[in-house]
């Protein structure tokens, strides 16, 4: 019986000690933090979530700030993590649905790792930084459907693996140089949406980030999901997340919309249509 192995990526070098995990962020066995270049962990404002294994929180974004996504595996098994920023897979750059057939990073038992940017080669990333949506990597593809959300889906391993050497750079890699625009001092109008720009993540400066390819077969469903909605401070004030007042509401977001959705009943016959 042939086995279908899906390739994951695991950092070849540990980056050394990172910020102390003073508080557990994320879905229990998987902890997620967003950290600025100066080592400052961005505060999270949790949102109550009824579904088990799902963690949601807001955090404050600052224009022009580089950031990294730190993930800690608290289990004694290898896990694969699909990471999407603004709805795009950070390895392939493709639109993500947090599925097990997407490209993912692999964390060893109790391993903690930092992911600093969009992967553009085996040893290269282009840095994450907070910017306006129109200047973001996702916005460059015309995709605003999950803007401002850092999403992580963690999968347990379904079968044992056999390590294989890296052969070549996989699909989705690019040699393009990151072109970074200077951050604006005030919100810009997003022409694509005709409204004040929400934050997004840019395709920043190129940086060395070694990795190696490993074999990993994920289970079909994630055991933990983390969604972090980053926003400018003025937006958090309007929403009452921080100690401010306001009534403006953000646009609908497919990774953040909390309304329940259920399958509608089928039409009674071919001529009727349910509403």
Task: Show pLDDT as tens, one digit a residue, over the chain (275 residues).
Answer: 444 444 455 443 233 233 333 344 555 799 999 999 888 999 999 987 667 889 999 999 999 999 999 999 999 999 999 999 999 999 999 999 999 999 999 999 999 999 999 999 999 999 999 999 999 999 999 999 999 999 999 999 996 655 554 433 433 343 344 444 444 444 444 444 444 478 999 999 999 999 999 999 999 999 999 999 999 998 898 888 887 754 455 556 667 665 555 555 666 655 444 44
Q: Please check whether residue 40 lies inside any domain of the structure.
A: yes
Q: CA-to-CA distance for 249 and 92, rounded, in angstroms?
A: 32
Q: Please check whether residue 255 lies inside any domain of the structure.
A: no
Which residues on adjacent β-strands are paired with residue 113?
71
Q: Please check whether residue 244 lies inside any domain of the structure.
A: no
* Domain count for the chain: 1
Range of the domain at 197: 6-239
Determine how β-strand 66-73 pairs with β-strand 124-132: antiparallel
Query: Are residues 157 and 77 in contact, defined by beta-carbon separation less than 8 angstroms?
Result: yes
SS3 at position 233: helix
SS3 at position 139: helix
The structure tokens listed for 156 are: 């347990």
Query: Are residues 83 and 117 in contact, defined by beta-carbon separation less than 8 angstroms?
Result: no
SS3 at position 55: strand
> If you ran DSSP here, which 8-state letter would residue 138 be given?
H
Q: Angle at the Cα of 77 (from 74 to 81), degrees rounded to 5?
A: 70
Q: CA-to-CA distance for 202 and 205, rounded, in angstroms?
A: 9
The model's pTM is 0.71
Q: Please check whether residue 250 lies inside any domain of the structure.
A: no
Q: Please check whether residue 270 lies inside any domain of the structure.
A: no
**262 contact partners, CB below 8 Å, separation of at least 6:** none
Q: Please check whether residue 252 lies inside any domain of the structure.
A: no
Q: Please check whether residue 251 lies inside any domain of the structure.
A: no
Q: Please check whether residue 266 lies inside any domain of the structure.
A: no
């Amino acid at each position: 019986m042939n086995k279908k192995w899906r390739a994951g990526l695991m950092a070849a070098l540990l980056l050394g000690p990172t910020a102390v995990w003073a508080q557990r962020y994320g879905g229990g066995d998987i902890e997620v933090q967003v950290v600025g270049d100066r080592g400052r962990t961005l505060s999270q404002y949790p949102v109550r979530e009824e579904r088990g294994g799902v963690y949601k929180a807001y955090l404050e974004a600052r224009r022009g700030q580089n950031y990294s996504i730190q993930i800690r595996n608290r289990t004694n098994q290898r896990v694969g993590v699909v990471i999407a920023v603004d709805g795009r897979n950070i390895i392939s750059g493709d639109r993500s649905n947090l599925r097990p057939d997407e490209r993912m990073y692999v964390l060893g038992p109790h391993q903690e790792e930092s992911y600093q940017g969009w992967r553009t080669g085996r040893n290269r990333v282009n840095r994450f930084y907070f910017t306006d949506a129109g200047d973001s990597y996702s916005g460059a593809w015309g995709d605003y459907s999950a803007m401002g959300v850092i999403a992580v889906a963690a999968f347990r391993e379904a079968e044992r693996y056999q390590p294989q050497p890296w052969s070549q750079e996989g699909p989705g890699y690019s040699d393009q140089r990151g072109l970074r625009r200077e951050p604006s001092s005030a919100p810009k109008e997003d022409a694509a949406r005709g409204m004040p720009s929400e934050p997004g993540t840019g395709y920043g400066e190129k940086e060395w980030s070694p990795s190696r390819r490993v074999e990993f077969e994920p289970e079909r469903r994630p055991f933990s999901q983390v969604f972090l909605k980053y926003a400018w401070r003025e937006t958090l004030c309007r929403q009452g997340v921080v100690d401010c007042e306001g009534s403006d509401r953000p646009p609908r977001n497919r990774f953040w919309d909390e309304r329940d959705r259920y399958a509608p009943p089928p039409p009674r016959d071919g001529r009727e249509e349910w509403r």
